[in-house]
Each structure stands twice: as structure tokens, then as C-alpha cells.
Structure 1
Amino acid sequence: MTDAEPADWQPADWPERANVAARSVTALFGRRLLFMPGTHLAAVQWPSKHLKNPLHPWHYWWQAHYMDCLVDAGRRELGNGATPAARFNGPRRASAGRLASRLVTGIRLRNAFTFVNSYYDDMAWLALATHRLQTLAEETRKPGRRRNAGIQETLTLQFDSASTDDLGGGTFWSKKRDFKNTPATAPVALYYARTGQQAKAQRLVDWLNGVLFDEARCLYIDGARLSPAGEVTVENTIYTYNQGPVLGALLELGGDANLARTSAVIDGVAQHLTVHTTAPGSSPRILRCDGTGDGGLFTGILCRYLALAAVDARLPASARNTARELVTATAEAFWAGRRPAEAGAATAGNGRYVFSVHAANPADTTYPPGAAVELSTQLQAWMVLEAAAAIQQKT
């Protein structure tokens, strides 16, 4: 406690705040697929404007990040004894791990009975989430179905086919096979690293370092496109979320060069991907957010991997502290800006909340009462709160 803090000051309970987000998202967006038992998916909007099909349009990769969030909640349940009383949503509800398993079933059915789609980055996010779900199942002594292993085998073949020598390496973004980028290469590299394929992972990281790393800003740019005439065009846009899985892959691989690059990227994030806020009680510097739609996930993804860096003793204290401060300040801003779910909704009075699109602005301004709320933005806030909880629990 500092001199400026009141005598009754208590540190934030980030695990409980993450549970609040988990309860809110699952209550507002979670549902069965066509009322089928044993399935679970998240509607893309609340309240849904597609009453007959609240899962339209189909956003495969949003569901993959929903699964990752459920695994985060499941890990907290495991840390609290994995008993019914430890469940994030109450002892009479399904555990987070069980919901995540039902979500796998829902994704397969909604995706036309397959886990393959046209975008390798989408499949990489699902592979990463499924791998974490399998690990959670093993640690709770409830071994995952052979289905999880089958998903990984299927998707690994997809990644192998997309990670070619064209353009000198890297992973194609889509099955058009004309663009290799950070959004696909980084999560595929992380997946390879987590599944014991370090040589493949390092080759992809080396390609990212050689082709898509901006030395001046210490951040990774978007990608490199191959024209029909064989000309290469580099896309220089920098997205927040791209830095996250690269950080994850660098940490997973380890070694002096990768860890040094990790510290450099953390500094680049702090210098170039933050905004200032004057919100009471908030740090003056928080991570920027990138709007709605797919961009509504971006800051959450970055925070997930900054949280890993924040507790990695191999990194210098300065890098760890910067990562921790960025995550917790952004989480505090999201928490402070939340608003109760609409009066009259099925969850009214049950502690369900809507979180803002932008951490720097309260939800009352970005999602005023009556506005349609997008799933991606709520998953983002949940991810940020989970990241703060993970840091708190490990330090």
C-alpha cells in the first residue's frame, strides 16, 4: 500500500472479476445449437437480431476464443478443487470444461460437420484452444475424448500444407494461397511449439523475424502478398493482436535470441500500441482497442500473451513489469467502465454486465442501453480480465 491509498484499500480480486465476465458472456450469448442436447455455441450478438438463427453469421474464430476463455475459467475451477462449489456459474451449472467440450461439438456441427475451413489462422486458434482443453481434461483426471486428438491431427495436416517455402517460408493465410502473414504464421508457430514441433515453430518465427519485423517499432507488420506475376508486396499495417501469438511462440521456444526479442516486442507494444486515459483510478497508459467485429477481439488476444510474459522469470524485470502494468491497467479500465445488462433482460438483477468496446471509454457510451452488443467485444474484455487474474494468481 502506498501513502496515497486509503487505510481500507484492498487489492482487486481479479479471479472473481473474471468470473463475473464469464457469467455475463455465457448467460447473454451462450446457447445450444438448434436446441440440441450436448451442444453449446455463442450467439454473435445480444440481443440477437436473427431470432430464427442467432448463430448467423458464422464466425468460426470467435468461437475458438470463446473456448479459450472457458478453458481459463476451467483452470480456475481446477485451482479451487474442481468441485461443483468451485464452478464459475454455480454448483448446479455445467463446469467450464464441460461447456468447452460441448462447444467443440457445436463448432463441428455448425461448421458443416468438419473443423476445416478456408482460413489457416482460424484453424490455428481452434487448434490452440483444443490443445489447452485437452490439457485441462487430463489435469482434472477426465481424459478428453479421442476427438480432441483427432482435431489436432486433422488441423496439423492443414498447417503443414500451408507452411511452405513460397516467399521464403511462413504460413499462408487462406486457401487462396497468395498471402502469408503474421495472423496465420504466429499462431501456427505457437501451436507447433506447444505440440513438440520446435524446429517447425522456429523456422516460422525466423521467417517472421526476417520478413515481417519492423525494426524501428519492434513490432510485427501484417504480411507479404504474392501477385499472379510473382511480385511480392509487403503489407505494413500493424495490428495489436498479431504481437500476442508471436510473444507466445517466442516464450514457448525460449533461448537467448527469442527471449531478447520478447522484451523488445513488449517495449514496442508499450511505445506504439497504447493510449492515454484520464479515467479516475486508472493508469494513464492502457492498451488501445480496435473497435467492433473481428477487431473487437484484438486487445484481448494481446493481453493473453502479455500475461505469460509478465510471469516469466527468464525475462528482465523491466519487461515483466511493463507487461504486467499494461494488462492490469487495461483490465482495470474495462472493469471500471462496465454497465449492468439491460433491465428486463432474462439476466437482469443477476450481476450480468456489458463491457465497453474500448477500455478507454465506459460501456454507457460505446454500448448505451438498447444497443446491440457484439460477442467479440465481450470476449475481449473477458480475456483481459482473465489475463489479469492469471498474473495475480501466479505472483
Structure 2
Amino acid sequence: MWAARAAVAERAVLTRHLRRFWGLPGTRLGVAAWPPSARQRLHTHWNYWWQAHLLDCLVDAQQRQPHPGRAATIHRLVRGIRLRNLSWTNAYYDDIAWLGLALLRAHECEQVPVQVPLTAITAQLRDGWTDHAGGGVWWRRGDNFKNVPANGPAAILFARWASLGGERADRQRARSHTEWMEQLLVDPGTGLLWDGLYVEPDGTVRDVVRTVYTYCQGVFLGACVELAAEDTSGVWVGRAERTIRAVATHLVDHDVLRGRGGGDGGLFAGILARYLALAAARLPGLGSDLGPVAARVVIASAQAAWRNRALARGGPLFGPEWTRPADVPHSARHRRVERDLSVQLSAWMVLEAAAMLERLGSPG
């Protein structure tokens, strides 16, 4: 059931959003909105990290049901990202970590060459670590803000890259990033991760931003699950379990993850769903009984997203709040966040997460 629904969502997103980059053969990029404006058709506004999640979703779909056409699309999207960005990196450490993760998965799935981009991305992430506020990488170059959205995906990437071509010390870097988040940005009352903190030039913390975002929980959970695989102390399993409990207590309505509107926020719930599904798949093998709780949230969220879909040209259209019916935008002037690629990717992501759990037979 979930595999079929994920396939329908995939077809709808690709039909409406996937295009050649400036008409160049052998390229693809995701158009930021549908219906698109003229500027969006030309990709003049560059949503770098949305493309990383589009690539991630394509890898999900390829793992669900391999197809040579999709394999070609994966390679074309990677080429389109490289050409549009002119390089593999940019000034935002969170952006490049997301692309690194997607590229690494594309390599494992479809042998996409990644040595050059991953070398560039991880080198920049290593250089981004400073001792200000006790460690961590900045949100972006030249900034005074350090946050979970940068350090979380960096930790996951380093944990995976350590055994697939990176430096021996990369796994320790993953631990350091995750420990830094644990020490400075976990709310002791709820167990949820705060967003980040502002740092003075002398390295002291000026202010902690206690806003709670769903995707901060997702990347911290993902880092803990990666680190738990080679740790016998149970520390990382325990932190993963605490995060799952906190999410299931504070960030759901009837087990359905809450949305965060459109724009970048449109991706937040889908990212958390991805790492909840990963936790549901891996934690039982590490001695945890919280896998079914994580799976339950994923399945309930997927059910709500599917139930509240709207019908549009190309297939189903999803809303930013999965508990509410989606509205179909009728033109580029229609200011509905359903237009945003981020919102559609998030729903596709949760459906793929449910399909993955379905394949594994995980209870939810």
C-alpha cells in the first residue's frame, strides 16, 4: 500500500517540478514552485538544499523499486546541481552537509561519483569547526550563529563518510558535533533540541534561541542512531530514545507531525519522518524498544498526508499541515504554500519512509 502511494507522490512531484536546467541536455533540477513564475522556471532564485532533498527522495524511490530511468534522473539531477551552483559548496554549512548526505546515498545506490564533491564538502565542514561556544560549526561562513541544523547533518555525514572514504578522525568529529548539541542545546525539561545560539567574538554565548523545530529533532536523532551502531555503552541509544519520546509527546497531534508552513519550513516534518523511520528500523537491533513508537508517528503522519491530499494536474498535491486538507493553487499568483517544492518533497518523504517501514515489516 505505502509503496504504491509513494510511487504516485513521486510521479506527481516529478511531473510538476522536474525540468532541464536551462534546457541543457543531461540535466535536471527541481523548479521551486508549481505553478512556477518566470523567475522560478529559470532558477534565478537558488534553492540549493531543496535539490539535495529531491535527490534524497529519488534515492528512496530507487531503493523502493529500482528503475533505469530513475537512475538516469539521479545522475542528471547531480549534474544539474553542479552546473547551477558552479561548484559543490556554498557559504552555508547546513546546505553543504545536506548535499553531502544525498550524494553519498546516491553513490551507494547508483554509483554516482562522489570523491571530488565529498572531499570538498567535508573539508569545508572540518574547517568550519571552531572552539567558540565550546565547539560546533557555524550556520554559515562569517556568521555568529551556531545551530542544530548545521551540526546535525554534519554529524550524520561524518559518521557515514568515516567508513566510506573519509578521514579516520571523521567518526570522532561526528561524536564531537553530537556531544556539542547534547551539552548546549537540549531542553532539560522536554528533551527536545533548541535551534541554536549566538556567540560573541570572544567565544562566549550571547543568547540561546530556544525555538523548537521538528527537523532539529530529526538530525539529532539521526546522528545518535549512526553513532549507536558502533557504541556498546548505550549512551547514544539512550539519547535517541529520549528524542523519540520527546517528539511523540510534544510535536505531534494524534501522532501526526506538525508542519511549519512553506518555504524552508515545508521540509521540516519530512526530515524528522525520515530519521524516525531510520530509528524505527535500526533501534530494535540495538536493544531498544522505542522503534514501534517512532514507526507509529511515521505511519500516522503518512496516513494524514495521504488522506488530506488534493487532486491536481499530474497527481496528488499535499499541504503543509498533514492534518488539514490541501488547497490547489491555480496560478503563480496564488499565494498558497502548496506551490512550494519543499512542501511536496516533505510529503513524498514521509510516504517513502512509510514504504520503507512496510518493506521491513516494522510495526507502526
Report the TM-score, using the length of structure 2 for normalisation.
0.90
1:244-323 to 2 correspondences below 5 Å: 244-254=218-228, 255=231, 256-275=234-253, 284-312=254-282, 313-314=284-285, 318-323=289-294
Taking a change above 3 Å as real, the CA distance of residues 198 and 51 of structure 1, as seen in their structure-2 partners, is: closer
Q: Which runs of 5+ in 1 are unaligned?
A: 1-12, 79-86, 88-93, 138-142, 276-283
* 1:249 Cα deviation after fit: 1.1
Q: Does 1:359 align with 2:322?
A: yes
Question: Take 2:39 and 2:105, find their aligned partners in 1: how far apart are those partners?
Answer: 33
1:95 deviates by 2.4
Deviation at residue 316 of structure 1 after TM alignment:
5.7
Cα distance in 2 for residues equivalent to 1:307 and 1:62: 20
CA RMSD of aligned residues (A): 1.6
CA contact (8 A) 2:136 2:180 kept: yes
Q: In 1, distance between residues paired with 2:159 and 2:309?
A: 36
Larger Rg: 1
Counterpart Cα distance in 2 of 1:61 and 1:204: 20
- One-letter code of the match for 2:10? A
1:199 equivalenced with 2:165 (yes/no): no
Change (3 A) 1:391 1:155: same
Structure 2, unmatched stretches of 5+, are 163-169
Q: Which residue of structure 1 aligns with residue 130 of structure 2? A: 164
Structure 1 residues 38, 321: CA separation in 2 closer, same or farther (over 3 Å shift)? same
SS at 1:340's partner residue?
A: strand
Matched with 2:214 is: 240
Structure 2 counterpart of 1:243, which letter?
A: Q
d(CA) in 2 for partners of 1:216 and 1:188? 26
TM-score normalised by structure 1 residue count? 0.83
Q: Secondary structure at the match of 2:65?
A: helix
Partner letter of residue 199 of structure 2?
L
For 1:208-219, what aligned pairs fall within 5 Å after superposition? 208-219=181-192
For residue 156 of structure 1, report the CA deviation from its aligned partner. 0.8
Q: Supply the distance in 1 between the matched residues of 2:221 and 2:124 (Cα, whole angstroms).
A: 23
CA distance in 1, matches of 2:245, 2:329: 35
Aligned to 1:338: 309
Alignment of 1:117 onto 2:87: no
Amino acid at match of 2:267: L
Q: Contact between 1:259 and 1:314, CA under 8 Å: does it hold in 2?
A: no
2:30 paired residue among 42, 45, 61? 42
Looking at structure 2, the residues matched to 99 and 298 of structure 1 have their Cα atoms a distance apart, in angstroms, of: 25
Matched, 1:126 2:87: no
- CA distance in 1 between partners of 2:240 and 2:268 (Å): 19
What is the aligned partner in structure 2 of residue 327 from structure 1? Answer: 298
- For 1:368 and 1:199, how far apart are their aligned partners in 2? 47
1:95 aligned partner:
69
Q: Distance in 1 between matches of 2:287 and 2:44?
A: 46
- Larger helix proportion, structure 1 or 2? 2
Residue of structure 2 aligned with 1:187, choices 128, 153, 160:
153
Q: Shift of residue 224 of structure 1?
A: 1.6
Report the equivalent of 2:359: 393
Q: Take 2:92 and 2:305, find their aligned partners in 1: how far apart are those partners?
A: 30
Q: Which residue of 2 aligns with 1:83?
A: none
1:102-131 deviation line (CA, Å, top 9, x unaligned): 1111111111x2011110000000000000
Partner of 2:348: 382
Q: Distance in 2 between matches of 1:182 and 1:57?
A: 25
Q: Give the match for residue 8 of structure 1.
A: none
Does the aligned pair in 1 maintain the 2:93–2:125 contact within 8 Å?
yes
Q: For residues 52 and 134 of structure 1, do their structure 2 counterparts lie closer, same or farther at Cα, with a shift above 3 Å needed? A: closer
- CA deviation vs aligned residue, 1:153-180 (integer Å, no higher than 9, x gap): 0001100011222211111110024111
Instruction: Tell me: CA distance 1:241–1:52, structure 2 relative to 1, closer, same or farther (3 Å).
Output: closer
- Separation of aligned partners in 1, 2:270 and 2:92: 21
How far apart, CA to CA, are the structure 1 residues paired with 2:149 and 2:291?
24
